[in-house]
Amino acid sequence: MNLSVPRQGRNKLVTLTVLDFTRHKPLTVILGAHTLQKREESWQTFKVKQYHCHPDFTSPWKGNDILLLKLDGNATINSHVRPISLDKSKARGGAACSVAGWGYRTATVTSPEATVTIIKQRDCLSHYPGLADNLICGRSRSSRVPEKADAGDPLVCNNKACGIFSYRHNNWPGFYTHIAPYLPWVNSVMKSA
C-alpha cells in the first residue's frame, strides 16, 4: 500500500512508500482496491514510470526510508480514489492512528486495518537510544500487527498521512518513517518529475 499525493492540483500521481519495494521491480500500483481476490470496477491500475529513492537512505534503521513512485498515467479522482493530505507535524505520543494494507499477503479478502498508538519519542528512545530522528514508534494491540511484509503501509492520524510503515524490531513496536521532515524533498522531486 502507498500514499497518493496530488501533483499541483492535477491528477498526475506520485505515491509515497518505503524502499523495500525496490526489490520487487517492476511494480504495478492498484488504486481503489477493496479486495485483491478479484478485479473490481473501482480499480485503477498503473505501471511505475520512475522510482525516486531518498538520496541519504542506507538502511531502514538509519532512517530516510522513503521512496516516491511516479505512475505512468493519470488517476481519476472519485469515491474510491482520492488524495490524502500529508500531516506537517508529528503525531503526539498517545495518539490513536490507523495503518491499513495488504503487504504481500493476498489471502486476506479485504484490506486489513489496525489501530496504532503512537509512543512518546522519549519512551521509544529509552529502548532504542540510537533511533533515527525521522522515525515514529507505534504499537498495535490488534491481531493485525504490521510486519515486514507491510512495509509501505500508511500511518494515518486525524485523516492525514503522518508516516509510512518501515520495519518492526522483535516484539517491540512498529517504526514508521515520519513524512513531514521529507516534505521539502517530496516537493522538489514532484516539481522535477
Question: pLDDT (tens digit, 9 = 90+) per residue, 134-188?
Answer: 999 998 876 565 666 677 888 999 999 999 988 887 767 789 999 999 999 999 9
Inter-residue contact 48 to 71 (CB < 8 Å): yes
Q: Which has more pLDDT, 26 or 155? A: 155
Domain ranges of the chain: 3-83+182-192, 96-180
Taken as a whole, the chain contains a residue count of: 193
Inter-residue contact 33 to 26 (CB < 8 Å): no
- In this prediction, residue 180 carries a pLDDT of 94
**Residue 16 pLDDT greater than 80, yes or no:** no
CA distance 6 to 42: 19
**Residue 9 pLDDT greater than 80, yes or no:** no
**Residue 47 pLDDT greater than 70, yes or no:** yes
CATH number of 96-180: 3.40.50.880, 3.40.47.10, 2.40.10.10, 2.120.10.30? Answer: 2.40.10.10
Q: Which has more pLDDT, 124 or 17? A: 124
- In this prediction, residue 174 carries a pLDDT of 86
CATH number of 3-83+182-192: 3.30.420.10, 3.40.50.300, 2.60.40.10, 2.40.10.10? Answer: 2.40.10.10
**Residue 10 pLDDT greater than 70, yes or no:** no
pLDDT band at 3 (very low <50, low <70, confident <90, very high): very low
Question: pLDDT (tens digit, 9 = 90+) per residue, 76-127?
Answer: 999 988 888 999 988 899 999 988 766 545 455 455 678 899 999 899 888 8
Q: Which of 21-30, 40-49, 127-136, 183-192 has the lowest mean pLDDT?
A: 21-30
Q: Which has more pLDDT, 143 or 191? A: 191
Q: Which has more pLDDT, 100 or 70? A: 70
Q: Comparing 3-83+182-192 with 96-180, is the CATH topology the same?
A: yes
